[in-house]
Structure 1
Amino acid sequence: MAKKIIQRFLPDHEKIKNNKSLKIFGSLLHDANLWHLNRRSARGAFAIGLFFAFIPVPFQMILAAAFAIPLRVNLPLSVALVWITNPLTMPPIFYGSYLVGATILGQHGQAFSFEPTIQWLINSLSTIGPAFMLGSLVCATVAAIIGYFGIDILWRLSVVKAWKNRHK
């Protein structure tokens, strides 16, 4: 059941293999284990995808693929999960990451105002940057752990439910 639900949302293998940004991996994309969906590959893909979704860097899909290939987890799932942070969800997720980092560093009440300029970005790296990066790393790690164990539990429950239905 869990496998069917996940497969419904996964992009086509050929579409991913022909993605321009993933061409740098060349023949590594032809490993059949990268496209196979089982409990092990799904939980690893969830961990990788969720981790890189919370890391504020460009090319998150390439980073997720770069980790999915040597770990031999489901590539489409790990690449698709980084889109949790999309243009609509980035502001609240990254602001939440900043708040987590500020709380850990004890920087409460630090006011800032956003300006869409390069100068503001450079100045912000020294003021809110450390809290933001620490918070992003903490949130990424927590999301990866929850994703890893969460999909493992859901997968096991799905298998138990299928076995019970067969016995009826």
Structure 2
Amino acid sequence: MPATRLARRLLPHPDTLAKTPGLKWLGHYLSPRPWLWVAHRRRVALGVGLGLAVGVIPLPTQMVLAAVVAIACRANVAAAIAATWLTNPFTLVPIWSLAILLGRMTSGHDGPIATPAMLEIDWTAPLSWGPALLGWIQALGKPLLIGLPLAGLLLGALAYLAVYIGWWAVIRGERLRRLRRRAQR
């Protein structure tokens, strides 16, 4: 099955969204703006890139922010929202490690990032939580705050390229297969 047909089959139609309780506003907004929902290579790739770039930054409203950014950039909204799911508890450590590395490289931070003793918290003494958290923020704060947006930009750009080139490769393979079938007839 061609990739575009599969994408169209998986994505709900804006009219379906307009009938779904809680998502009616989205369906009514997307119906007159099909470019925000269409399964097009550039728009989906841009949506994935934007969603991952927004999803890297730890916010409680990642999906809403990704949808707003996708609408502003005329990217695929569903792809942007789905890309925020790539940042989860399993991928948090590698993404934050990349962010800290990028933050250290750009800020020139030379001190220790975090030692096991620094990350140790005495859970039985709530008064020690504040100083422990403050020490952790002082050790990670500047590199992490600088590195998270940089990691978002880097991972978003890589995701855009991966989706764009991958989609192009699938379309190219389908065309070659069709040409071979025609040549065999």
Please indicate the TM-score interval, normalised by the length of the shorter structure. 0.7 to 0.9
Partner of 2:66, secondary structure, is helix
Q: CA deviation at 1:103?
A: 2.7
Pick which of 149-158 and 44-53 moved more: 149-158
Give the aligned residue type for 1:91: V
Change (3 A) 1:90 1:24: farther
Residue of structure 2 aligned with 1:134, choices 142, 146, 162: 146
Structure 2 CA distance for aligned equivalents of residues 17 and 96 of structure 1: 42
Structure 1 CA distance for aligned equivalents of residues 80 and 103 of structure 2: 25
Residue of structure 2 aligned with 1:93, choices 92, 95, 118: 95
Give the aligned residue type for 1:33: W
Counterpart in the other structure of 1:153: 165
Q: CA deviation at 1:63?
A: 0.8
Give the aligned residue type for 1:134: I
Counterpart in the other structure of 1:71: 73
Counterpart in the other structure of 1:144: 156
Identity %: 28
| Higher-RCO chain (CA-CA 8 Å, sequence separation at least 6) | 1
Q: Deviations over 1:132-163 (max 9, x none)?
A: 02111111111111122222211222221111
Counterpart in the other structure of 2:179: 167
Q: Is the 8 A contact 2:18 2:27 kept in 1?
A: no
Q: Is the 8 A contact 1:53 1:60 kept in 2?
A: yes
**1:41-80, aligned counterparts within 5 Å?**
41-80=43-82
Residue of structure 2 aligned with 1:81, choices 77, 80, 83: 83
Partner of 2:58, secondary structure, is coil
Q: Deviations over 1:96-137 (max 9, x none)?
A: 311221232222342433348465445544542221021111
Structure 1 CA distance for aligned equivalents of residues 27 and 130 of structure 2: 35
Give structure 1 regions of 4+ aligned residues with deviation exceeding 4 angstroms: 4-8, 10-20, 22-27, 115-127
Structure 1 unaligned spans of 5+ = none
Select the structure of larger CA radius of gyration. 2
Q: Deviations over 1:19-76 (max 9, x none)?
A: 86x7887843443222210112111111111111212222111110001112222111
Counterpart in the other structure of 2:36: 34
Change (3 A) 1:145 1:92: closer
Q: TM-score, normalised by structure 2?
A: 0.72
Structure 2 unaligned spans of 5+ = 124-128, 181-185
Structure 1 CA distance for aligned equivalents of residues 27 and 132 of structure 2: 39
What number of residue pairs does the alignment pair up? 166
